[in-house]
Amino acid sequence: MLEKQNRLTDYDPGKFKRKFNVLLWLVSFAFFLLISRLWYLQVIKGDDLRQRSENNRIRIQEVKSLRGLIYDTRGTILVDNQPSFDVSLIPEDTKDILGVIKRFASLCDLDGVDLAKKLSTTKFRKPFVPIKIDRDIGRDKLAIVETNSLNLPGLVVDVVPVRKYVFGEEIAHVLGYVGEISAGELGDDYYKDYRSDDIVGKYGIERYLDRYLKGVSGGEQVEVNVQGRKLNVLGRVEPVPGLNVTLTLDARLQKICWDAFTEKAGTVIVMDPRDGSLLSVVSKPSFDPNLFNRGISEEIWGSLSKDELCPMQNRSISGQYPPGSTYKLFVAAAALEDGLITANTKIDCNGTFDMGNRTFRCWKKTGHGSVDLHRAIVESCDVYFYHLGEMLGVEKLAHYSKRFGFGSKTFIELHGEKSGLVPTKRWKRERFKEPWQGGETISLSIGQGFFLVTPLQLIRAYSAIANGGVLYKPRLIKRIVTAEGDIVREFLTERESTIPLHKKTLEILKYALWGAVNEEHGTGWVLKRKERDVSGKTGTAQVVGMPEDEEEKEREVPYKLRDHALFVCYAPRTNPEVAVLVVVEHGGHGGSTAAPIARRIVDGYFELKAHDAGLMVQSTLDVSPVSGISGRDGT
């Protein structure tokens, strides 16, 4: 009793108060943390959590639109769409992301490390947005994934459309290819309406007309279970397919050109000189655009980009070559228009032309003797044109060259076109800080030296000669239409300019081109047909100076230093309807290498024309006229 009384007497109220204050502060701090957390969850993260909660039951899924189809001029499908099965992962639907990836990789024989890397590059995505981890898995892998779906929570399989390039590498440089939009493209104003996973045109027509071909994606409001599996579709907005495109190309003629050109590298262009429409464009070597549909591997891309023959280059618009003897026609036009010569002007060719301390040789060592302009073009006499070049000078040559469209882009509906080069005194002074030399004009007069043209420029200039002097803008696209066939936009013929040549000048040039193919000793005799309707010109463009001895040239010069072979022609002689250009890189002589290819193409064109005419006649014969309805009595 005495002890209890002592403990009560010893009690200190101040000590209790201090403990109470500490406890009060602890409780207050705990309530502060609780209230702060509630405020954070309700105010700061409220919208996000509300979305997450809703996404546990209802989600909005994008439905990709079908990209527009591409047809040739006869309605043959060049680019179609086909279904692809893509596997995506929604990280929010699984607690073991790496485990799911490893199981999926094991089932489908994939590299789990690579799949995990894909997830690490998508840190800033929105919640519940799927991450693509494999594309175009095929039906066998699809069956495996669906069978093991319970062990793969968070994985979803989508059916998406992918491009199918029906003719593969044959038309690749014109049609191009598609791919997933890059981070750099997303930062471009042109793509401001695009999303991070959109498929866009990367090259060719696919790129040039991407906004027309793309279409508008739709969406689905779906109900899902706890594993993210679709249970029910609550609503759907249908996607709007892209617009269809019709080109001027003829797939049958494209096949003929592709098969005819068996050389390593070069290009073939077929044009309608009456309006500038391109009927065929071949560039070799080529690539298979289907490789890019679902993402190309680093190994394949490396083999394409490092190939010395540059298969990704469209040589028809970006290849720049000396025109060689095909340029002589335009030198002749300049000399005739300036009154320096007439058709009867003769010049002696003994095989050489001297200027200062330099000697320029003719391709024919013994010379051509005394020749007029007609024979000079027919037999491609170099010495004759050396004299014309000396008479004209570099500035006159440049002036007339630009009139024919050389030195500037044609603005065809493709990216990557080059402008070529028409050299002048001023150009050389600015480029090399050196004055122009007289010998350079002599080289220029036969299409050598600094002068560069693209194949498209060259065939357009020859088409202008064929049609009487009209320079058309090359046309590759005919029209853009809806899926129902309604025309949205039509690409009409565009006359760029009329070349100011006298009618007599054109007649002289056209007659000489006809003679080059059909007369004795013509350099283009390989293309002579029984109809005698083809006119054309050969060309051999030097890459470097060559030995004089032809056998030594072929034996010793490496492939990359050999001459380029060119041939350009049109047919028929009157009212021409087709022009053909062939460039064979490092192919040697135009007459022996390029002309035979052009021969097969011209023959193929007229065979197709005869075939189509026969079908038209047959179709007409199959339709019997009906004048009335007859019964048993013939009334």
Q: What amino acid positions are annotated as catalytic residues?
A: 325
3-state secondary structure of 255: helix
C-alpha to C-alpha distance for 365 and 327, rounded to whole angstroms: 21
Find how far residue 244's CA is from the centre of its chain.
Answer: 17
C-alpha to C-alpha distance for 193 and 186, rounded to whole angstroms: 9
How does strand 244-247 pair with strand 70-71? parallel
C-alpha to C-alpha distance for 541 and 365, rounded to whole angstroms: 18
Cα separation values, 528 from 141, 259, 523, 575, Å: 58, 21, 11, 18
Find how far residue 565's CA is from the centre of its chain.
Answer: 24
Rg value, the chain, Cα: 36
C-alpha to C-alpha distance for 260 and 256, rounded to whole angstroms: 6
Residue 406 C-beta-side C-alpha neighbours within 13 Å: 29
C-alpha to C-alpha distance for 53 and 62, rounded to whole angstroms: 20
Contact criterion met (CB below 8 Å) for 119 and 102:
no
- Residue ranges of E strands in 50-128: 58-63, 70-71, 77-89
Residue with tokens 């994934």: 145
Phi/psi at 272 (nearest 5 deg)?
A: -90, 110
Contact criterion met (CB below 8 Å) for 70 and 175:
yes
Q: Which of 79, 409, 81 is nearest to 247 (CA)?
A: 79
Contact criterion met (CB below 8 Å) for 439 and 375:
no
Residue 288 C-beta-side C-alpha neighbours within 13 Å: 11
As separate numbers, helices (DSSP H) first and strands (DSSP E) second, the chain gives 22, 23
Q: Which residues contact 413 (CB under 8 A, 6 or more apart)?
A: 205, 208, 209, 476, 477, 491
Inter-residue long-range contacts of 561-564, CB under 8 Å, 24+ positions, other chains counted:
561/586, 562/586, 562/587, 562/588, 563/324, 563/587, 563/588, 563/589, 564/266, 564/321, 564/322, 564/324, 564/540
Q: Which of 399, 419, 394 is nearest to 409 (CA)?
A: 419
Q: Which of 182, 39, 156, 45 is nearest to 100 (CA)?
A: 156
C-alpha to C-alpha distance for 143 and 145, rounded to whole angstroms: 6
Q: Using CA of residue 450, residue 454, residue 455, residue 456, what is the dihedral sign?
A: negative
Q: Which residues contact 386 (CB under 8 A, 6 or more apart)?
A: 353, 360, 442, 445, 446
Helical (H) or strand (E) element with 497: strand 495-498
In the chain, the N- to C-terminal Cα span, in Å, equals 145
